[in-house]
């Protein structure tokens, strides 16, 4: 266990190290979401056993606070990019009853798509001003959807653990 001025107690959790601070926002159905601090695995695929250093925790605090300070803009970017991702990867199937065998979902706007991205699983704060946001994507619950933000800009959107 490590203690930090901003994060408080930092303990090993089911997917790396986390704080007792949690994330909540009215857009998401789940509240008090776990914030993981640092990567879960090293370059060799082994679980990281050492907690983040004091300097890493301080940098994570700055990154997270910047994310919160710009939450409305960040959420807007996530919503726009999620809809674009849907159009590129899923619409050809889910909007075509001949392919899916089901009625079209009728997802034709960011607003109509937002209902499918409301189940936030966790946030992961990483080095280099990076945050990963993992969502249980109702269009594809097997793969989910994850956003990698670097310096407040989306760098990548993909399935969970693909970003």
37 lies in some domain: yes
In order along its 163 residues, the chain shows pLDDT tens digits of: 788 899 999 999 999 999 989 999 999 998 899 999 999 998 898 999 999 999 999 999 999 999 999 999 999 999 999 999 999 999 999 999 999 999 999 999 999 999 999 999 999 999 999 999 999 999 999 999 999 999 989 999 998 877 7
Predicted TM-score of the model (pTM) = 0.92
Does 65 reside within a domain? Answer: yes
Instruction: Answer whether residue 108 is part of any domain.
Output: yes
Containing structural domain, residue 152: 2-41+50-158
Q: Is residue 74 part of a domain?
A: yes
In a domain, 163, yes or no: no
Beta strands in the chain (DSSP E): 2-4, 8-13, 16-23, 33-37, 120-126, 130-135, 145-150, 153-158
Number of structural domains the chain divides into: 1
Q: Cα separation of 67 and 72, whole Å? A: 9
- Residue partners of 66: CB distance under 8 A and separation at least 6: 129, 152
| 139 assigned to some structural domain | yes
Q: 82 near 145, Cβ under 8 Å?
A: yes
70-97 per-residue burial string, b: 16 or more CB within 10 A, e: under 16: eeeebeebbbebbbebbeebbbeebbee
Largest CA distance in the chain: 57
DSSP H helices in 71-162? 71-89, 91-94, 97-100, 110-114
């Amino acid at each position: 266990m490590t203690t930090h001025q901003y994060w408080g107690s930092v303990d090993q959790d089911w997917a790396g190290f986390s704080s007792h601070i949690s994330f909540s926002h009215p857009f998401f159905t789940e509240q008090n979401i776990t914030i993981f601090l640092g990567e879960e695995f090293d370059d060799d695929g082994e679980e990281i056993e050492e907690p983040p250093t004091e300097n890493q925790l301080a940098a994570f605090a700055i990154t997270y606070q910047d994310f919160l300070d710009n939450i409305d803009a960040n959420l807007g970017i996530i919503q726009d990019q999620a809809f674009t991702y849907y159009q590129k990867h899923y619409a050809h199937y889910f909007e075509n009853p001949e392919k899916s065998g089901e009625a079209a979902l009728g997802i034709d706007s960011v607003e109509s798509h937002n209902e499918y991205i409301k189940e936030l699983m966790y946030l992961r704060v990483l080095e280099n001003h990076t945050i990963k946001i993992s969502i249980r994507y109702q269009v594809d619950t097997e793969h989910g959807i994850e956003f990698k933000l670097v310096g407040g800009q989306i760098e990548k959107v993909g399935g969970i653990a693909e970003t």
